[in-house]
């Protein structure tokens, strides 16, 4: 393992550094659209950039972390920083450190309650229309501290059409000293009219070695979390090489005091992969026996990724999640019955939909693994 220094001041991961270096701080565009796969650090990048644009120490192209503006920003109180994010993403913002965002659990007694809940959930995943409108309206008055003003919107593709139109109008006639930092996981879903008014920055996914080295450094910095390199690597590949996503996953588990569950899920996922690599020789009963105590959603996600890779390889593509198993995947794709593979994929989707009220895990895993094994029986 190559240790990398963790500087509190630098939140820009090495693979996004070239983008940072490409920015001209003396002529910052009024709208930047940073796009790329989720979980690779776009949000961290945007927060650092927002802080840097608001920092009041002159001549610095990085937030100084000492001035009043940096202090306001770090505590989530900078009056010229507006973040439009859905409730589900608010924990990413600095002020979340001071809030208890754990909502009290309510018991669902009737169907009506359940429906309200699901509507609320939908609401939480969207950027509020009212917030967008009032944020944009507030731009007509000058900035509070007389310097820049930064509006961050993420995920941009979740902006509802009327909010998108409001935004578009501001982009057409940008208010003075206002910088829009727009983030999108899927830039193709952003209105072309918005895209064309932004400076587009494509955030790359790190190559495996760089991403892993960053991740290992971050995980090692958490003292009471002892994961082996192999466990970290498995989790990394599982998340499609998105280091921030893996890190969040690991931290979330730690916060829940579920470190044992995480280790169990990672170990079970390795057993599952080794078993699936055997195709038609998969010992399904034995495998289900070994893994059924792990988190079902985690196992199903592993199967989905494996199948996605298998499908990619059979279309002469490259595996995204398990590149190290390229030759195994190639062998399997030659043996697989396409129709059966498709049917198995559908079974997986069905199982995922029901994963929150699982039937007996073991029985379900046995059924799935046995179906998978038959894919390779011609
Ligand atoms: Zn500063």
Name the maximum alpha-carbon separation found in the chain: 71
CA–centroid distance, 59 to ligand 1, in Å, is 11
Q: At CA 52, angle to CA 48 and CA 57, rounded to 5?
A: 145
- Distance from residue 223's CA to the centre of ligand 1 (Å): 29
Distance 207 CA to ligand 1 centre (A): 32
Q: Can you give the pLDDT of all 378 residues of the chain as single tens digits?
A: 333 333 344 689 999 999 999 988 778 889 999 999 989 999 999 999 999 999 998 776 789 989 999 998 988 888 899 999 887 777 777 754 433 333 333 343 444 444 445 555 555 667 777 888 888 878 777 778 778 999 999 999 888 888 888 889 889 988 888 999 999 999 999 999 999 999 999 999 999 999 999 999 888 887 666 778 888 888 888 777 899 988 888 877 666 655 577 778 888 888 999 999 999 999 999 999 999 888 888 888 889 999 999 999 998 888 888 888 899 999 999 999 999 999 999 999 888 877 666 567 888 899 999 999 999 986
- CA 138-143-190 angle, to 5 degrees, is 55
pTM of the model: 0.69
- Whole-number Å distance, alpha carbon 142 to ligand 1 midpoint, is 20
Q: How far is the CA of 58 from the centre of ligand 1 (A)?
A: 9
Distance between Cα 48 and ligand 1 center (Å): 11
* Ligand 1 centroid distance, CA of 71 (Å): 7
Residue 211: name the closest of 171, 249, 245, 166 by CA: 245
């Amino acid at each position: 393992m190559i240790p990398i220094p963790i500087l509190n001041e630098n939140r820009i991961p090495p693979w996004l550094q070239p983008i940072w270096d490409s920015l001209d701080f003396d002529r910052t565009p009024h709208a930047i659209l940073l796009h790329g796969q989720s979980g690779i650090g776009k949000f961290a990048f945007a927060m650092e950039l927002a802080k840097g644009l608001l920092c009041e120490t002159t001549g610095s192209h990085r937030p100084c972390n000492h001035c009043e503006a940096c202090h306001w920003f770090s505590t989530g109180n900078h009056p010229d920083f507006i973040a439009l994010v859905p409730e589900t993403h608010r924990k990413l913002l600095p002020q979340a450190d001071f809030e208890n965002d754990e909502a009290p659990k309510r018991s669902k007694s009737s169907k009506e309650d359940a429906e309200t809940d699901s509507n609320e959930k939908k609401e939480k995943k969207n950027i509020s229309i009212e917030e967008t409108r009032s944020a944009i309206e507030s731009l007509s008055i000058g900035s509070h501290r007389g310097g820049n003003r930064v509006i961050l919107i993420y995920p941009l593709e979740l902006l509802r059409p009327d909010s998108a139109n409001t935004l578009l109008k501001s982009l057409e006639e940008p208010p003075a000293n206002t910088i829009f930092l727009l983030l999108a996981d899927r830039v193709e879903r952003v209105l072309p009219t918005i895209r064309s008014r932004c400076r587009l920055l494509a955030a790359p996914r790190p190559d495996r070695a760089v991403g892993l080295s960053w991740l290992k450094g971050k995980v090692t910095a958490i003292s009471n979390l002892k994961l082996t390199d192999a466990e970290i690597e498995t989790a990394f590949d599982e998340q499609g090489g998105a280091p921030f996503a893996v890190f969040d996953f690991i931290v979330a588990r730690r916060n829940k005091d579920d470190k044992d569950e995480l280790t169990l899920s990672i170990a079970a996922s390795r057993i599952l992969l080794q078993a699936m690599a055997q195709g038609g020789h998969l010992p399904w009963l034995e495998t289900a026996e070994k893994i059924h105590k792990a988190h079902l959603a985690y196992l199903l996600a592993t199967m989905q990724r494996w199948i996605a890779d298998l499908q990619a390889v059979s279309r002469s593509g490259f595996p995204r999640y398990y590149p190290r198993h390229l030759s195994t995947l190639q062998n399997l794709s030659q043996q697989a019955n396409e129709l059966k593979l498709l049917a198995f994929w559908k079974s997986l989707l069905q199982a995922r939909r029901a994963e929150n009220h699982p039937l007996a895990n073991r029985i379900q895993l046995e059924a799935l693994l046995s179906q998978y094994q038959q894919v390779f029986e011609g």
